[in-house]
Structure 1
Amino acid sequence: MDPFLLSELDFIQSLQGGLGGLVSLFKGITFLGNEEFYLLIIPLLYWCVDAGLGLRIGVMLIFSNVFNSALKLAFHSPRPYWIDSTVRAFSSETSFGMPSGHAQNAASLWGLAAVKIRKTWFRWLAVLLILLIGLSRMVLGVHFPSDVLVGWGVGGLLLTAYLQLEKPVIRWFNGLNPSRQFTVALASSLVILLSGFLVLLGVSRWSLPPEWGQTALLAAPQDPINPLTLAPFFTVGGTWLGFLTGLILMLRSGGLMNVTGSPLQLSGRFLIGIAGVLVLYAGLGALFPREPEMVGYGFRFLRYSLIGFWISAAAPFLFLRLNLARRI
C-alpha cells in the first residue's frame, strides 16, 4: 500500500482512538452537511427568513453537487473503511471518496452565507462549522484527510467563482424573454446529465476492485457500495430544472414572496411546506421504482424536479392562496 495512504490511515485511526467516544456528537455535526439538512434549511431560508439568501444557497448547493459528483467519478478513490478493516465505519457511504462532498459543500455554502450575512460572529461560526464538518468525516471513518482538504479547496474555488459570476449571470438571465429562460432551464439541466454520462464514459475501462466492496461490507453490511452510478446527476439535474422553472414562474407572475409575517404565518408556512417536501422526498422515493436502472433514473429525475418546483414555486403559491404570505 502507498506510504502516504498508510500515513492517512494511521491518522484516522488515531482520531478514532482519541475522539471515538464523541461519535454521537460528530454524527450530529456531519448531519449539517447531509442532503436532509439542506432540504430543511434552504426552504426555511427561502420561505421564512431571506428569500434571496435561500435562492443563492440553493443554487450554490446544486452546482457544488454537480462538480463533486463529477470529481468523485474522475478520481474514483476509495474511502478508508473500504480498504482497511481496522477503520471503524461509524457512518457509511456508497459513493467514491475524493473530494469530500460534506467538506466541499461546507466551504462553499457556509462560506457564501458568511459573505452575504456579513456579521463577524456568524463568520467565525461558519469557519468553525467548516472545520468541524470536515473533521467529523474523518472521525466517522468515511474520508481521508486528503479528501477533506481537496473538498475544502474545491469549495473555496466554487465560492470565488460564484461571487465573480453572480451579478453578470443574473443580468444576462433577466434580459431573456420567458421562453428563452425556460429553454435555458431545460438545456442546463440536460448539460448536467450529459456531464455525468461523459465522466462515467471516461472511467469505463476502470474496474472497481472487488476487495473494496468486500471490506466495505464487513464494516457496513447495510450499505453495499455502488460508486459507478449516474444517480447523483439525475438528482441534481432534476432539482435544478424544477427549482429554476419554479423561480421563473414566480418572478413572471408578480415577484417573490415576502418572507415577513406573524409567528403563526411563519410556522404555518414552514410546517405545510416541509410536509410537502417530505411527501415528495420520502413518499415518492418509496413509491417510485428503482429498477431497471434507466427507468429508476427517470423517476429520480422526476421526483427531484417536483421537489425543486415545490420549494421555489408551488409551496409559495399555496402560501399566498392561504393568506400565509404576500408578494414583495
Structure 2
Amino acid sequence: MLWIESGLGYSWSLWFNRLGDNIPIFILNLFNFIGNELFYILLFPLIYWCINKSIGKRALIITLLTAYVSSLFKYLLVRPQPFDLYSRGSGKIINRVLVDEEYGFPSSYTMGITSLWLYFSSISKKISVKILSILVILLTGLVRVISGGEFIFTTLLSILFSILILVIFKIFEPKITTLCNQRYSVSQRVLLILFFSIAAIVIVLLINITSIEIPLILVGCFLGTTTGIVLEKEYIHFSVDGSLILRIGRYFFGIIIISVVYYGIEFLYNISALDNNFILFVKYSVLTFIITFPLPKLFIYMNLSRDSLRTYL
C-alpha cells in the first residue's frame, strides 16, 4: 500500500490538494455532501416513495453491499488518511473539509457513489443519464482528493473495486430474487434475511477488525430494508404513481416521520447505558424498516398513494 501513500501517489495527491486554494469551500462541501449519511437518507426515500420502487430498493441494496465490503477492508487494512502523513520536501496535504472516514483505503465514500451512480447508468438507456453518472463519479472523486480526504490512487482503486462488486450484483441479484420469490414463503424469506444479517455480523466479529460500529450500522440497514421490502411486496403493493403534489406530500410527510424516529433514537442513544453499537444497530434497522414498510402503508391510508394491485381492478 505504500505506493499509494508515498512517491508519485503522495506527490500527485498533494498537487490536486493544492488546487483547493482556488476553489470556494462551499463547492467542496457540496460535493462532499453527495455521499454522506444525510444525502442517502434523503435520496433513497425519494426514489423508493416517489419515482421507482424497484430501482429504489435495488439501488439501496447495492449501496449497502458496497459499503459493507469497503468497511471490512478499511478496518482490516487500517491505512492512514492523506492529511495524517507528511512527505519531507513535498509538503503536507491539508484536510479542507470535515472528512468522516476514519481510515484511508478503500474509500467507502467513493465506492458508495460509484456503485450507486453506475447502477443508475446501467439500467437507463438515456445517454444523458450515463454522462451524468460518469461526471458525478469523477467529479466527486476528484473533489475528495482536492479536499485531502483521499489519495488519488485510493480513489481510482476504489472505483475499480466498486465496479467489480456491481458486476457481481448484476449477475446474481436477479437469480437470487427469482429463486427466493418462487421457492420460499414470506416467513422463510424473512428468516433468510435474518440468517444473512447474523452471518454478516459473525464475519465482522471473526475477522477482528478495529471497529465494528460502521459494519453493524450497515447490517442494521440491510436487515430493516430487506425485511420491509419483502413485507411491502406481499401485503401493501403501494404505487409511486400520482400527481406531483401527491408525490411531494408523500415525500415531505415521510421525511418528517423518519426525522422524528432518527433523532428520537439518537436521543436514547445519548442517554442510554446500553452498548452503543447495539443502539446504533437497532436505530438503523428500525429507521430503514419504517421507510420500506409502515410508511408506504400509511401513505395509502392517507390517500397519498394507492394499492398498485387495485389500480387495474
CA distance 1:289–1:324, change in 2 (3 Å): same
Q: Please give the alpha-carbon distance, in whole angstroms, between the structure 2 residues aligned to 1:2 and 1:322.
A: 57
Query: Do the aligned residues in 2 keep the contact of 1:27 with 1:136 (CA within 8 Å)?
Result: no
Counterpart code for 2:267: A
**Aligned: 1:160 with 2:167:** yes
1:258 partner SS? coil
1:295 aligns with 275
Trace 1:25-174 onto structure 2 (pairs within 5 A): 25-84=27-86, 86-90=92-96, 91-174=98-181
Shift of 1:70: 0.6
Shift of 1:274: 1.0
Q: Please give the alpha-carbon distance, in whole angstroms, between the structure 2 residues aligned to 1:248 and 1:18.
A: 47
Query: Do the aligned residues in 2 keep the contact of 1:290 with 1:296 (CA within 8 Å)?
Result: no
2:131 partner SS? helix
**Aligned: 1:14 with 2:15:** yes
Q: Please give the alpha-carbon distance, in whole angstroms, between the structure 2 residues aligned to 1:161 and 1:252.
A: 27
Query: Do the aligned residues in 1 keep the contact of 2:236 with 2:297 (CA within 8 Å)?
Result: no
Task: Name the TM-score, length of structure 1 as normaliser.
Answer: 0.86
Question: 1:187 is matched with which residue: 195, 207, 212?
Answer: 195
Q: Please give the alpha-carbon distance, in whole angstroms, between the structure 1 residues aligned to 2:107 and 2:117.
A: 15
1:272 aligns with 253
Q: Please give the alpha-carbon distance, in whole angstroms, between the structure 1 residues aligned to 2:10 and 2:259.
A: 38
CA distance 1:177–1:30, change in 2 (3 Å): same
Structure 1 range deviating more: 87-96 or 268-277:
87-96
2:197 partner SS? helix
Shift of 1:86: 2.5
Q: Please give the alpha-carbon distance, in whole angstroms, between the structure 2 residues aligned to 1:291 and 1:150.
A: 40
Q: Please give the alpha-carbon distance, in whole angstroms, between the structure 1 residues aligned to 2:244 and 2:19.
A: 44
CA distance 1:280–1:83, change in 2 (3 Å): farther
2:105 partner SS? coil
Q: Please give the alpha-carbon distance, in whole angstroms, between the structure 1 residues aligned to 2:206 and 2:143.
A: 32
Q: Please give the alpha-carbon distance, in whole angstroms, between the structure 1 residues aligned to 2:77 and 2:144.
A: 18
Question: 2:204 is matched with which residue: 189, 196, 205?
Answer: 196
Counterpart code for 2:66: S
Query: Do the aligned residues in 1 keep the contact of 2:20 with 2:147 (CA within 8 Å)?
Result: no
What are the Cα deviations for residues 54-105 of structure 1, in whole angstroms up to 9, with x where unaligned?
Answer: 0110111111111011110222111011223822111223521111112111
Query: Do the aligned residues in 2 keep the contact of 1:289 with 1:299 (CA within 8 Å)?
Result: no
What are the Cα deviations for residues 111-169 of structure 1, in whole angstroms up to 9, with x where unaligned?
Answer: 00111122101100100111111111111111111211121011100110111012101
Shift of 1:3: 6.7
Structure 1 range deviating more: 304-313 or 94-103:
94-103
Query: Do the aligned residues in 1 keep the contact of 2:258 with 2:290 (CA within 8 Å)?
Result: yes
Q: Please give the alpha-carbon distance, in whole angstroms, between the structure 2 residues aligned to 1:112 and 1:95.
A: 26
CA distance 1:180–1:40, change in 2 (3 Å): same
Q: Please give the alpha-carbon distance, in whole angstroms, between the structure 2 residues aligned to 1:310 and 1:3.
A: 45
Query: Do the aligned residues in 2 keep the contact of 1:64 with 1:104 (CA within 8 Å)?
Result: yes
Counterpart code for 2:117: W
Task: Name the TM-score, length of structure 2 as normaliser.
Answer: 0.90
Counterpart code for 2:302: L
Overall identity of the aligned pairs, in %: 24
Query: Do the aligned residues in 2 keep the contact of 1:247 with 1:312 (CA within 8 Å)?
Result: yes
Where does the alignment leave 5 or more consecutive residues of structure 2 unmatched? 309-313
2:221 aligns with 239
Query: Do the aligned residues in 1 keep the contact of 2:19 with 2:146 (CA within 8 Å)?
Result: no
Q: Please give the alpha-carbon distance, in whole angstroms, between the structure 2 residues aligned to 1:123 and 1:49.
A: 18
Question: 1:258 is matched with which residue: 234, 239, 245?
Answer: 239
Shift of 1:188: 1.2
Q: Please give the alpha-carbon distance, in whole angstroms, between the structure 2 residues aligned to 1:322 and 1:37.
A: 27
Shift of 1:12: 2.4
Where does the alignment leave 5 or more consecutive residues of structure 1 unmatched? 204-227
Length, aligned pairs only? 300
